[in-house]
Amino acid sequence: MSRLRYLVRKTVWLAVTLYFVITFNFVLFHLLPGNPVRLLARSGHLTPQAVADITRVYGLNHPPPVQYLIYLRDLLHGQLGISYTYREPVSRLLGQYLGNTILLLAAATVLTIVLGVLTGVIAANRRGGGYDSATVTASVIGWSLPTFWTGLILAFLLGVWLHAFPIFGMETPNAVYTSQFQRIEDIGAHLFLPTLTLVIVNIAQFVLVARASVIEVLAEDFMLTATAKGLLPRRILWRHAVRNAMLPVVTASALLISLVVGGAIEVETVFSWPGMGLLVYNSVLNRDYPVIEAAFLVFAIVVLLVNFASDLLYQALDPRVREA
């Protein structure tokens, strides 16, 4: 029963937040900045006829509340406007680029979580040792690294200098593949440096969260019981301590997504990875407002959904939340 209530509460909060994001988007990009007709035309020289046409096409002749309703209706139909530079519906553009970004995000997130937790657990287990303090120091430095600059340095060292990995795009241009496997290999090679950059920059907090959480669990009474029962230390650590230390990691994972989404914009720019981030970068340079606006909306929705999923996961893992 309470489980259902929790679910309902979280769903309502998700719906309210989504609605706020959409409205926020509308107010920000449709009501605030000056005259949209000027923005559209760039140059100020327009015939009155052209101004009237643009005003009608974009529905600017309606009062703001009506514009808002039109905006909501268009959004529900997946109409996000037309890109100024690509001359294509924004929704189609997003469809082309979103998949590549999700590939990058998934690779980076999974690797960050797995490697971060492993390092954190080992650091906690050897608390106070050289390995432990090295982890903390590395985490602090990792936190201070700008994502895009880390990407530039890796591109220079491993790409330009050592020629070990490609640093441009997703596939080798004009490549002829003899098999599908070869193509996957090529994409994997291109994926390596962007993913590595995101992992290096974001892994720090994971290590710290996992470490702190495991240290806390290791101090609990039931750990002493487990030792007294004569269980192997390795089993105690991985089966008893780590399992109980995973809750903060779930929370940190939700926060990670928000960071990785931002990081993807930087990394895709540096490595010209054909995803949403590169699309945003090009749109920023060309002041392609409909694309920038839609990209923000998509990023925000992705982050909201991941947060929602992590809330549900948290509840499934922690009986105390279920009761609350």
Contact set with other proteins (CB under 8 A): 17, 20-21, 28-29, 32-33, 137, 140-141, 143-149, 152-153, 155-156, 160-161, 167, 258, 261-263, 265-266, 269-270, 280-281, 283-285, 287, 289, 292-293, 295-296, 299-300, 303-304, 307
Q: How far is the CB of 47 from other proteins (least distance, A)?
A: 26
- Which amino acid does the sequence have at 60? L
Nearer to other proteins, 236 or 256 (CB): 256
Nearer to other proteins, 236 or 266 (CB): 266
C-alpha 129/C-alpha 102 separation (Å) is 38
Nearer to other proteins, 78 or 146 (CB): 146
Q: How far is the CB of 320 from other proteins (least distance, A)?
A: 20
Q: How far is the CB of 166 from other proteins (least distance, A)?
A: 12
Nearer to other proteins, 149 or 177 (CB): 149
Structure tokens at 40: 């559209």
C-alpha 264/C-alpha 268 separation (Å) is 6
Q: What DSSP character marks residue 82? A: B
- Look up tokens 């995803």; give the residue: 275
Nearer to other proteins, 52 or 219 (CB): 219
Buried b (16+ CB within 10 A) or exposed e, 183-222: eeebbeebbbbbbbbbbbbbbbbbbbbbbebbbebbeeee
Nearer to other proteins, 36 or 89 (CB): 36
Inter-residue long-range contacts of 128-137, CB under 8 Å, 24+ positions, other chains counted: 132/211, 135/207, 135/211, 136/208, 136/211
- Residues 6+ positions from 82 with CB-CB distance below 8 Å: 88, 89, 90, 290
Structure tokens at 44: 């100020």
- Look up tokens 């007709």; give the residue: 37
Structure tokens at 45: 């020289």
Nearer to other proteins, 118 or 247 (CB): 247
Nearer to other proteins, 17 or 231 (CB): 17
Q: How far is the CB of 179 from other proteins (least distance, A)?
A: 31
Note the residue count of the chain: 324
CA neighbours closer than 13 Å in the CB half-sphere of residue 248? 19
Structure tokens at 246: 């995973």
Q: How far is the CB of 41 from other proteins (least distance, A)?
A: 16
Q: What sign for the dihedral angle of Cα 249, 250, 256, 258?
A: negative
Inter-residue long-range contacts of 124-130, CB under 8 Å, 24+ positions, other chains counted: 124/210, 124/211, 124/212, 124/213, 124/214, 124/215, 124/218, 125/214, 125/218, 125/237, 127/215
Nearer to other proteins, 105 or 236 (CB): 105
